[in-house]
Amino acid sequence: MKKGRRLTATVAILALLSACGGGGGGGDDRSGVTPPPGSNPPPTTGAGCSLRERQNFALAQLREFYLYPELLDTSVDPANFSTVQAYIDALVAPARAQNRDRFFTFTTSIAEENAFFSSGATAGFGFRVTSELGEGRVIVAETFEGTPAFAAGIDRGAEILAIGGGPTDLVTVKDILAAEGPAGVSRALGPGDAGVTRVLRVREKDGTVRDVTLTKAQFEIDPVSDRYGAGIINDNGKKVGYINLRTFIGEPAERDLRAAFAQFKAQGITEVIVDLRYNGGGLVRVAELLTNLLLGNRSTSDVLSYTVFRPEKASNNQTVFFMPQPESIAATKVAFIGTGSSASASELVMNSVLPYLGANAALIGSNTFGKPVGQIAIDRPQCDDRLRILAFATQNANRQGDYFNGLASNFQSTCRAPDDLSNQLGNAQEASIRTALDFLAGRACTPIGGAAGAQSAGTPGTSKGRGGTELITPAQPRGTIERDLPGAY
């Protein structure tokens, strides 16, 4: 097989991506690139966009490409469902019951998804929120620059005390959680549409309480924050590279990653912290770039990953080889910060590094989401429909995949650490980053799922566990931001 990425058969092989509700998996793999001309199969029942025609189209493509055809329930009657997505959910219910398809197969808007993957364009308040389990609290985990939340001065560590449509109908978060759980908070924050307004009662880290009126607006995600996304940490005289990647979108992420690693290379850095704690995934090509930037000493004959379709579609299988870049470094140790929200493309990078670094690669934080599979995209432009079909599995050079329960047990080295909301991301004093520095320095830590001691593989934890907190995400994502940016509103 020729080295590098190739496209074959009738569909463009698209990317590993984001997470659905709860921590990383739902709308997952995509590429923001549509299949090449002539690659889309013709509509099965004409060019119309009636509900039944769209349902029939989805069924035909799932029969053709779904990774687990034996787990499709084709006996369900489309007449019983009022939306295309509800029908798809019924078709893949057997696979979902086996933890193989956690809302990984779905239909979405071509225009909306292309806007997100080309520039990070989306709509919302511009923050991620997390809940403290059992504490009845909702705290901001991250705020994106250039957003309504950022302009209002709301940042990591601020607690949301109450939510309302206006100043006179505020409902406390404690009451919302008691009545509906985290789903109630998601509902209270409203749909992801520009123009949606909410009043939030917020307590800052210094104890100040204020009411803030926020209106959701269009904004563009910066994949690597200019505030804290990339830098060099001095750990007792040793320089350590730090990179926090929010999402694997296209050119913006590629540009930011290259700039960060060029800085690492210029400083002679060989030990790196890769912070993917909230990264639900994104484009496969960006995941491959990050892996190449980390392991610049690999040969172009070394396997980065395998892409494996179902047996009838084996002609689409790919072997991806390393392609060192001008900005690549030869990392000797890498500490990946991950959580139950780290999914898809994030896990692809981690898994691809393991055969080459072994115990010198560690998972810091908690177990990952568990999404060793990816999607292809089939477009129906006349309906603005993009059908994302779970169609392939990914494996590393050692043919290791199938990590539906998370990657923790695949790592020889793990260190448990909380998501420390009292410190900003990128801060060397933040608990997960401090633990990552301990691993890189050879200091002892507590393995994920294990007792205190030297770094060692731990047993997988829950997909959402992060030291007592979890991002608040809908049970079923409703749009691009909820699929690709876990916990974002």
CATH number of the structural domain spanning residue 151: 2.30.42.10
Q: At what angle do helices 284-294 and 345-357 cross, to 10 degrees?
A: 30
Partners of 302 in the β-ladder = none
209 lies in the same domain as 234: no
Domain boundary among 153, 186, 220: 220
Contacts of 48 (CB under 8 A, 6+ apart): none
**Same structural domain, 215 and 235:** no
Give the C-alpha separation, 428 to 408, whole Å. 23
Let me know if residue 58 belongs to a domain: no
Is 38 domain-assigned?
A: no
Tell me the C-alpha distance between 457 and 377, whole Å.
Answer: 36
Range(s) of the domain holding residue 180? 121-220
Residues 339 and 443 placed together within one structural domain of the fold: yes
What are the angstrom distances between the C-alpha of 259 and each of 75, 120, 325? 52, 18, 12
Q: How many CB atoms lie within 10 A of CB 156?
A: 22
**Domain shared by 439 and 352, yes or no:** yes
Contact 376, 60 (CB under 8 A): no
Of the candidates 333, 360, 375, which has an alpha carbon nearest to the alpha carbon of residue 238? 333
At 123 the pLDDT is 85
The label of the residue with tokens 């053709």 reads 64
Same domain for 292 and 205: no
CATH code assigned at 400? 3.90.226.10
Task: Find residue 337's DSSP bridge partners.
Answer: 275, 364
What's the one-letter identity of residue 443?
R
- DSSP for 191-222 reads -S-TT-EEEEEEE-TTS-EEEEEEE-EEEE--
Residues 198 and 257 in one domain: no
State whether 144 and 278 are in the same domain: no
**One domain for residues 235 and 185:** no
**69 inside domain:** no
In a domain, 265, yes or no: yes
CB-based burial, 448-465: b 16+ in 10 Å, e otherwise? bbbeeeebbbbebbebbb
**Residue carrying structure tokens 């295309």:** 84
Residue 276 in any domain: the answer is yes
d(CA 303, CA 318) in angstroms, rounded, equals 11
User: Are 284 and 362 in the same domain?
Assistant: yes
What is the pLDDT at residue 468?
Answer: 63
How big, in percent rounded to 5, are the helix, strand and coil portions of the chain? Answer: 30, 25, 45
Helices marked H in 222-337 — which ranges? 251-266, 284-294
Instruction: Say how far apart CA 58 and CA 72 lie, in whole Å.
Output: 12
Q: Is 53 helix (H, G, I), strand (E, B) or coil?
A: helix
Interacting residues of 380 by C-beta distance below 8 A, sequence separation 6+: 40, 43, 49, 54, 57, 386, 387
The structural domain count of the chain equals 2
- Residues 294, 423: one domain? yes
User: How many other C-beta atoms lie within 10 A of the C-beta of residue 206?
Assistant: 7
DSSP-assigned letters across all residues of 316-347: G-EEEE----TT--B-SEEEEEE-TT--THHH
Are 164 and 280 members of one domain? no
Residues 6+ apart with CB under 8 A from 123: 192, 193, 194, 216, 217, 218, 219, 481
Q: Which residue has the tokens 């923050």?
A: 127
Q: Is residue 483 part of a domain?
A: no
Q: Examine residue 108 and state whether it is found in any structural domain, yes or no.
A: no
End-of-domain residue from the set 220, 253, 269: 220
Q: How many helices (H) and strands (E) does the chain have?
A: 12, 20
Q: Which of 194, 220, 246 is the last residue of a domain?
A: 220
Pairing type for strands 121-124 and 217-220 reads antiparallel
For residues 314 and 300, what is the distance between their CA atoms, to the nearest angstrom? 23
Indicate whether 239 and 196 sit together in one domain: no
Q: Are 347 and 287 in contact, with CB atoms under 8 Å apart?
A: no
pLDDT per residue, tens digit, the chain (489 aa), is 333 333 223 344 433 333 333 333 333 343 333 333 333 444 444 468 999 999 999 999 999 999 999 999 999 999 999 999 999 999 999 999 999 998 899 999 898 888 777 776 788 999 999 997 678 899 999 999 999 999 999 999 999 999 999 999 999 999 999 999 999 999 999 988 899 999 999 999 999 999 999 999 999 999 999 999 999 999 999 999 999 999 998 899 999 999 999 999 999 999 999 999 999 998 899 999 999 999 999 999 999 999 999 999 999 999 999 999 999 999 999 999 999 999 999 999 999 999 999 999 999 999 999 999 999 999 999 999 999 999 999 999 999 999 999 999 999 999 999 999 999 999 999 999 999 999 999 999 999 984 333 333 332 222 344 346 789 987 666 666 677 788 999
Domain assignment present for 163: yes
Round to whole Å and give the CA distance between 194 and 191.
9
**Residue 90, φ and ψ in degrees, nearest 5:** -70, -40
